[in-house]
Structure 1
Amino acid sequence: MRAWENLFLEGYTFGEEIGCGASGTVYTAKSIDTGRTYAAKTLAVEDTSIREICVLTQLKKHPNIMEFMESKLGRDGETQVLFVISDFCPLGNIGDYILKQQVDVVTKRHLAVQLADAVTFLHKNGIVHCDIKPQNVLLTVNEAHFVLKVVDLGLAKVLTGSENNVNSFSRPHMRYSVGMSSRFYLSPETYESLLNDQPCHYTPSVDIFSMGLLLWAMFDGLTPGTCQSDRYLAPFAGSETDPMPVAQAVTQGGIELKVMESEENEWCRNLVRRMLSRDPKERPGAELVLKILLRGYGDYRLSQGVVCVIVDDDDNPLHLEGYTFGEEIGHGASGTVYTAKSIDTGRTYAAKKLAVEDTSIREICVLTQLKKHPNIMEFMESKLGRDGETQVLFIISEFCPLGNIGDYILKQQVDVVTKRHLAVQLADAITFLHENGIVHCDIKPQNVLLTVNEAHFVLKVVDFGSAKVLGSENNVNSFSRPYMQYSVGTRFYLSPEIYQSLRNEQPCHYTPSVDIFSMGLLLWAMFDGLTPGTCQSDRYLAPFAGSETDPMPVAQAVTQGGIELKVMESEENEWCKNLVRRMLSRDPKERPGAELVLQILLRGYGDYRLSQGVVRVVVDDDDVHPACSSCSCTGTGPGCSTSSCRDK
């Protein structure tokens, strides 16, 4: 079976593999709705940050699910962090509120219906929350009514397989079991898996058990522990001073549970007892829970959005463009939550701060916050799907049928004028990134793809898995170790400062000039067609010092000194030749900025930038010269016999 035949992503059919790198594998993917072909990158879903962003972005809006606004990269002091912006709920979590206020039984019934409606919505959308507890159920107000919001989908699972089973158990639950109240909201199957250190093959019924526990705690106001400062809302077996989690009691058996003693409605009391069955198959589904609560309590579901209360306080080190921060309002295993006021609208949201450690998160966030540019790969969406039975993340973007610039130049006779066009487009893309405070950090042929717009080549910079957002002094203060894992051609595109940091195993405090050095190397390789190595099957486009049979990376040669570099020998334009030499300076401060590089190339080559969006077309036949739609020649250079093509 071919690899792509295992892939599944709702709304797409997959074609062949078209690329593979350190952060993921890329396939063609055709939209079932439009028939248009895109590029789909698969990424492993191992980080709670990725999972939460993707689950939130693919969910439709529901009044009882925390509304996702956006995810953006920002800073906590000098540390790069990810913020997830969502609704702000000024009343806090349901557990704290019920313990601090005298909440009447009718209000509790309203909230029970809303909770069941939210969980039903998640399950209908194939999502298991996996962490239903008071801290993840917040309260706000809409006019005169309480509104419940289910939050924190960092442990959520997307259902896979024909039996709606989640086939892997998230080990972060291990961290939660020692926390304040989380262990009191585990299901028996989760409790046993943790006790025996075994994986748990479970169904959406884990949410049903946890929801039953929360309903029981809400109505009876149960608080294990006698110390006032340590009170939290949770059901339990045994005594207050020696409480036992219900999952443990149910697993052991023979322990009486006094469920919903304060609730007079017998239907609903019996419902909660069924929700707390040891056997997952005996628990009712979320939709049945909702129907019984509606029959017993009435319909208190909501159809409108929530009006949020504004809180403001700028006295902290957090920074996120477009927002000012207030106080901390929550803290969990996956991140810390603050109030954040939009500078544009004045509306207050909740901003969850997450560590940026995974290339998948970084790539999604960089792509989503970038404005559209014709020479930057256009991001369409990120969605969770499957590779066989494994949950994976897909990044959907443009499809570039001509492949990467290195392979294309080696396979085709590309004329010098076309190379100049592409050089200007590359400089325009890097200038755009740097103006937006982003350093790509991995400029090389494999990350520069080609497509066509009408009769013209269009260059696209891709793969932001190693990209960095600049700090306050335009310095990136941490070095991405995945450089060590990259493929064969990458070492030839490193800058001297990165080369030395890797050799000495030291962190690298570097500036956007790393992109300038790599871009200079790529321009040199493009114009001179350099290929280290003599084996035809191993050829790749890269500049080098020394000989083809014993090539040395330029960064190494520049660092050692005393090694002659024959830069841009095939280029007649002296301005541009000298420009590339400056771009390859050992000292980062001596390299020109991206904007100056662009200006010099424009002066030397002319303006070949694209000001409009790009029309992507699928090229099935590379024999026609893409620079001339009226010509059917097989040549791609001045040797073409058609005068109109030769004159271009």
Structure 2
Amino acid sequence: MELRNGIHREVRTVQQQQQQQRRGCKRARPAENPPKAGVCKVLRPLPLEDNDGEAVRAEDGGGCFSFFKSAKPGHFGVPPAAPRYSLLREVGRGSYGVVYEAVARRSGARVAVKKLRCDAPEKVELALAEFWALASLEKKHENVVQLEECVLERNGMAQKMSHGNKRSKQYLRLVETSLKGERILGYPEEPCYLWFVMEFCEGGDLNQYILSRRPDPKTNRSFMKQLTSAVAFLHKNNIVHRDLKPDNILISQKSGSPVIKVADFGLSKVCAGLGCEAQVGEDQVNKNVNVNKFWLSSACGSDFYMAPEVWEGHYTAKADIFALGIIIWAMIERITFIDAESKRELLGTYVRQGSEIVPVGEALLENPKMVLSIPQKPRSPMSDEIRKLLQDMLAVNPQDRPDAFQLEFRMDQVTCAA
């Protein structure tokens, strides 16, 4: 059973997404030529538009948005004097939202701003899942993207969101929409948006960073430790990411050396209860949950990184460990494929079946006795210790995989020994 703020991934829209992913998987092809250093192009500034092509409202001569203070709890307030953030350029766009680079007018700090239009249940589910996951973290972690604030906007007015704000009618309306699977009622000219303000990662995603540079064992070891540390932190806080992939791993270079930032929590689960399928309510937090005994039943994620049990729709947090194994394996050996839809070259391992390539998880589901060829390349830089660890992370039986805490300990050992 899922509590009132659960993310109901069993709805038909997500099933359709999974069918599209599987069809796209068969059209994907391996990358034939390894990328050369420096091929990653800088994103150019684009016209500021929202998901539906409508121009973002400009104030004070620039593309920007404003946070409004509520006059009364549960109501939107009066227009402000000046916007708090100015949008500089679009840096990413997906099915459910647009991400901009922005600057805080008062401090001049650069931030990332994600705008999600909440006019359909599946969009509301993704937005609320991300908000609940990031807002539930009482402590910060260096390798998890930091949420500065979340703002709910409707009809040109906006209200800062707080975790479990029962006094906000608009917030409760979003929760109800997510649960009932019904569209938000209202006029087309009064769309509802959620704006997420997060730390800006100037290094791009893991694909861009790794494939635009020469192989560097030191960077690989550092990234492996940071990734396992981030996942252990999330699992300790009862969060199962469910969509770990290079696209959702960002790189910050503010400290001089690259720092991993796990991001995009739209498919995440905040687990609660005693092994039953549930999610943390707005004011219900169980700190004694064993996240590895919490069963999930929604087949979601990105197919090249999905564990065998996810394809079946019955899995635990160990699915994150499998996805991490695919990412680390691909990063070390620079194994890539060409995404069927975006035509981008992405890090990811796979199994060849004739002229097709198949996700490792799907291939293991079809043939549980299959032995993975780790390492895949004859002159691989992979050590025997890393090879054994990857074999355990990618075990077909999730009980044979280490949990996030065991993985963090073992990763420290093998990276220090390298």
TM-score range, shorter chain: 0.5 to 0.7
Shift of 1:383: 1.0
Q: Of 361, 373, 396, which residue of structure 2 is paired with 1:566?
A: 373
Q: Which amino acid aligns with 1:2?
A: P
Partner of 1:510: 315
**Per-residue CA distance 1:350-384 (angstroms, 9 max, x = gap):** xxxxxxx7121121111112120000001100013
Q: What is the Cα-based RMSD across aligned positions, in Å?
A: 2.9
* Alignment partner of 1:601 is 2:400: no
Secondary structure of 2:143 counterpart: coil
**Residues 549 and 374 (structure 1 numbering): CA distance in 2 closer, same or farther, change over 3 Å?**
farther
* Alignment partner of 1:538 is 2:344: yes
Secondary structure of 1:413 counterpart: coil
**Residues 477 and 579 (structure 1 numbering): CA distance in 2 closer, same or farther, change over 3 Å?**
closer
Partner of 2:389: 579
Shift of 1:607: 10
* Alignment partner of 1:592 is 2:402: yes
User: 2:154 & 2:87 partners in 1: Cα distance?
Assistant: 12
Q: Which amino acid aligns with 2:351?
A: A
5+ residue gaps, structure 1: 51-356, 502-507, 609-648
Secondary structure of 2:89 counterpart: strand
Secondary structure of 2:310 counterpart: helix
User: 1:548 & 1:444 partners in 2: Cα distance?
Assistant: 25
5+ residue gaps, structure 2: 1-45, 50-54, 58-63, 67-83, 157-188, 276-290
Q: Of 276, 297, 310, which residue of structure 2 is paired with 1:498?
A: 310
**Residues 564 and 17 (structure 1 numbering): CA distance in 2 closer, same or farther, change over 3 Å?**
farther
Shift of 1:496: 0.3
Secondary structure of 2:258 counterpart: strand
* Alignment partner of 1:556 is 2:362: yes
Partner of 1:2: 47
Shift of 1:47: 7.8
Secondary structure of 2:252 counterpart: strand
Shift of 1:601: 1.2
> TM (normalized to structure 2)?
0.63
Shift of 1:576: 1.6
Shift of 1:46: 3.9
Secondary structure of 2:214 counterpart: coil
Partner of 1:424: 225
Shift of 1:578: 0.5
Shift of 1:478: 4.4
User: 2:353 & 2:204 partners in 1: Cα distance?
Assistant: 28
Q: Which amino acid aligns with 1:430?
A: V
User: 2:154 & 2:108 partners in 1: Cα distance?
Assistant: 21
Secondary structure of 1:532 counterpart: strand
Shift of 1:538: 3.2
State how 1:5-404 maps to structure 2 within 5 Å: 6=56, 8-10=64-66, 11-46=84-119, 358-370=125-137, 371-385=139-153, 390-404=191-205
Secondary structure of 2:347 counterpart: coil
Identity, % of aligned pairs? 31
Shift of 1:17: 2.1
Shift of 1:436: 1.1
Partner of 1:479: 297
* Structure with the greater alpha carbon radius of gyration: 1
- Point out which structure has higher relative CO (alpha carbons under 8 A, 6+ apart): 2
Do the aligned residues in 2 keep the contact of 1:424 with 1:607 (CA within 8 Å)? Answer: no
> TM (normalized to structure 1)?
0.41
Partner of 2:10: none
Do the aligned residues in 1 keep the contact of 2:274 with 2:294 (CA within 8 Å)? Answer: no
**Residues 439 and 607 (structure 1 numbering): CA distance in 2 closer, same or farther, change over 3 Å?**
farther
User: 1:36 & 1:386 partners in 2: Cα distance?
Assistant: 26
**Per-residue CA distance 1:459-515 (angstroms, 9 max, x = gap):** 00001111112232234444346x3xx7xxx2100110112x2xxxxxx33211010
**Residues 607 and 369 (structure 1 numbering): CA distance in 2 closer, same or farther, change over 3 Å?**
farther
